[in-house]
Structure 1
Amino acid sequence: MRQTSKPGPGYYLSFLLIGPLTYLAHELGHWAGGEAVGVDMWMTLNKAGAVDDSMPGRLEAIIIAASGPVVTLVIAVIAWQLATTRRSFIAYGVLYFQLMFRLVAGGITLAGNHPNDEAAVGVMLGIGAYPLTIAMSLLLLALTWDTARRLRPGLLANFAGYALSSLVITVFVFADSLMRGADIRLL
């Protein structure tokens, strides 16, 4: 059966809340992963890492790097479940943002500029930068595609999701660079 309803204004406005909250949840995942294994951590809007005098071992570094993507994947799976079972366009927006978030990070890795979290884990595991980066992106794409096929949000909703996700990601990266330049950290 075809979905006849389309996303309303709440779908579009929700990206302005979804993006920042799930972005922070991803970074908080890194921070919490490090703290859970006994590494003193710091966090900004777009980065989390070990405090200078707290040097993590190889296993701890893998856990820290993987914790953010694991949080993102959990958010995506919950959003996929809600979107497909409750036909929620807002949950679709949450899922869509997770895809965009990891695609941008993966694109930066593929461009060779800076390894994203998945690439860092892959390198530490000895499988290279690309397998986990591509696998995460393909998994999120599959969940998003499945949901879009079921909900049929329309081209406008997807283009708007792309534009709003891009805006949130750009603002976060820019604000983070300003905050780090001023040596401001969230944690």
Structure 2
Amino acid sequence: MQRMRTGAGFYGLVFIAGFITFALHEGGHWLAAILLGHEAYFGLNSAGARGAVSAADHAIISAAGPAVTVAQALIALALVQARGSAVGWIFLFQAAFMRLMATVISLFNPNDEARISEWLGWGPWILPVIVTAGLFALLAVGVQRLNVSWKTLALSWVVASVAVSAVVGLDMIMPR
């Protein structure tokens, strides 16, 4: 089986897809807040309702971002499976990478899945591990389908790390 073709354009898209993945994820939080009737805010690395919200609304808003990211991964995997899409693989990779990084950050600041896991009485790690493991299982299917090399995985990881750093850094300096 031939390996997936990569090059500068491929890795440029890995970088751009990092920003798009964050925008979609945060857009899920924002849209949930709006649909629940709240005034909402949207940033590169945060979105949600302004002001106080009920516990139920907070849980729905928190779940909406990861739900969008999981939907992104499922759609991307479908493109990989049906069409052998390298672009689909990039968006699948970014979904898994993003939620893994969010899980790691939960060591310092609980992410969406960690908060929901706590609210469910499961402790802070059950849901983040389930979501991250599930996304990496989907990614493994995509890696196998497209015969992705370790070099491509490693370079995608480096580029995605730069993209996440750029998103977080820019979000910290942007005016609110």
User: How far, CA to CA, are the matches of 2:108 and 2:5 in structure 1?
Assistant: 38
Query: What is aligned with 1:28?
Result: 27
Percent identical pairs in the alignment equals 31
Deviation (angstroms), 1:8: 4.1
1:153 corresponds to which of 148, 151, 155: 148
Query: What is aligned with 1:87?
Result: 84
Query: What is aligned with 2:101?
Result: 104
Query: Which deviates the most, 63-72 or 122-131?
Result: 122-131
Q: Does 1:128 align with 2:147?
A: no
Runs of 4+ in 1 over 4 A off after TM superposition: none
Q: TM-score, normalised by structure 2?
A: 0.94
Structure 1, unpaired ranges of 5+? none
Q: TM-score, normalised by structure 1?
A: 0.89
User: How far, CA to CA, are the matches of 1:22 and 1:107 in structure 2?
Assistant: 18
Using a 3 Å threshold, how does the CA distance of structure 1 residues 40 and 5 change in structure 2: closer, same or farther? closer
Q: Does 1:139 align with 2:134?
A: yes
Structure 1 segment 28-47 matched on structure 2, within 5 A: 28-47=27-46
Q: Does 1:73 align with 2:70?
A: yes
Q: Does 1:6 align with 2:1?
A: no
Query: Which deviates the most, 6-15 or 39-48?
Result: 6-15
Deviations 1:21-46 (A, max 9, x none): 12111001001111111122112110
Whether the aligned pair in 2 keeps the contact of 1:10 and 1:90 (CA below 8 Å) is no
Structure 2, unpaired ranges of 5+? none
Using a 3 Å threshold, how does the CA distance of structure 1 residues 149 and 26 change in structure 2: closer, same or farther? same
The alignment partner of 2:29 has SS state of: helix
Structural RMSD (CA): 1.3
Whether the aligned pair in 1 keeps the contact of 2:4 and 2:86 (CA below 8 Å) is no
